[in-house]
Structure 1
Amino acid sequence: MKLLVFGKTGQVARELARIAPDATFLGREDADLTNPAACAAAIAATDAHAVINAAAWTAVDKAETEEAAATLVNGDAPTAMARAAAARGLPFLHISTDYVFDGSGDRPFAPDHPAAPLNAYGRSKLAGEQGIRAAGGNHLILRTSWVVSAHGANFVKTMLRLGAERDSLAVVADQIGGPTPAAAVAQALVAAARALTRGAPGGTHHFSGRPDTSWAGFARAIMAEAGFPCRIDGIPTSDYPTPARRPLNSRLDCSAFTTAFGIPRPDWRPGLATIVKELHP
């Protein structure tokens, strides 16, 4: 199975390169997502059997003041990709986010729960989802949450840096979700891509790590894994204001994905151990 992957340096793209080194990876220099037509042209010219979009605008707070730019990257570009893939009869797999929901309640969100994003980033990702569905091809929209790895900028790397420098940290304790190793997302995408090339239906699915926890709880696990004595003090979201509102509830119901593809929710704790070992051998 030949894969065409949009993205080269992001967390999931880096993990895809580890498990699918023969895939073709397109960085910004090859297919800039601010130019949807160029992205579509790359798909029109490919000899791949499936297309994965692992590139995105991920600067959540910056999107509040640059929503049009975020929507171009997260909305218009994936839409153009999906249309081009549909025209070629190629499965198209795309990563989305829990931020399409409003974070209300305390129950896991099912894939068919009504979307109601709280911020510009969430709206931009929802625009991409809507465009992909409208394109009419066989697609998989895989919503995930709290992605972490040894690459790029993410919560684990931030906590390790701060935990090595400080005796205590204040971390939000009322946002709940499932930390998800990027390696697990990559493995799920490759397995799903193989299924879709064999005719399996796609759709919109959820995939996040287990068990659900708070950012503060996750931070404590990171400190313990790294052997840092840094104390984590839980605080409410109201004590840590950000330009973009964050959902309090990021729990995702992943059961449909497990049923459809035989892939269970990954336990993030072994994944965390692997990440910490890679960063601090």
Structure 2
Amino acid sequence: MAHTNESIVSEFVLRGLSNSWELQLFFFAIFSVVYVTSVLGNILIIVIISSDSHLNSPMYFLLSNLSFLDICQSNFATPKMLLDFFVEHKTISFEGCMAQIFLLHSFVGSEMMLLVAMAYDRFIAICKPLHYSKIMNRRLCIIFVFTSWAVGILHSVSHLVFTVGLPFCGPNEVDSFFCDLPLVIELACMDTYEMEIMTLTNSGLISLSCFLALIISYTIILITVWRRSSSGSSKALSTLTAHITVVILFFGPCIYFYIWPFSRLPMLLTCSDITGIQ
């Protein structure tokens, strides 16, 4: 896949969610509420965990970091999307577009790994409770967080290093409200088949690998909980139900989108749209 950087496109046009003024006002109202609620809710979680000494445990430490990642995901594209509802010509610079791609895949990749770390925490807490405090120490939790960020950044860089060098010399309309990698790749003035395969392999494998790891972990945990009949097990089951719901809502669209062929349908809501406004 040899190519040189012949880009003459200095900006991309974002087609947004709708051309209807009434629908744009409706979307602005809905997404504004979702955005503010999400950001304030996650900030509240971080503040409560940080200020309450009774919540000084590995589970809540990981949860506060997950909330921080959700805040980052909410802010990488949503504020611009909200402002663009009132702008006739929605554009973004080439550099801004590449930045959005980098941030999106960094945050999403990091969150996938952090969800796996949280599943491991629950696995140790429920399946090996006597060894929990010894295994899930502060040092391991910090390692989990740094590893999550490192994997997310490396995952994003592996995409960006090829995308920046693509020749963009003609079409510049992105069929979304932000720059998502598959939609930007389609605009390159070259055969992007190999690039599409690389993207599918990279993002698809990390999504499927993390999802399968989570399914296996939660299956073992659920079997362990099912074999018990105490009130503590009921509490653990309610906690697991919330965890599993988050996992399905997060990974379902991701896996579907990166397994589905690239350019077959206009994108209204994909994995990136959902995580971008969490």
Bigger relative contact order, structure 1 or 2 (CA pairs below 8 A, ≥6 apart): 2
Same fold (TM over 0.5): no
Q: Is the radius of gyration larger for structure 1 or structure 2?
A: 2
User: TM-score of the superposition, structure 2-length normalised?
Assistant: 0.29
Larger % of helix: which? 2
| TM-score after normalising by structure 1 | 0.29
Bigger strand share: 1
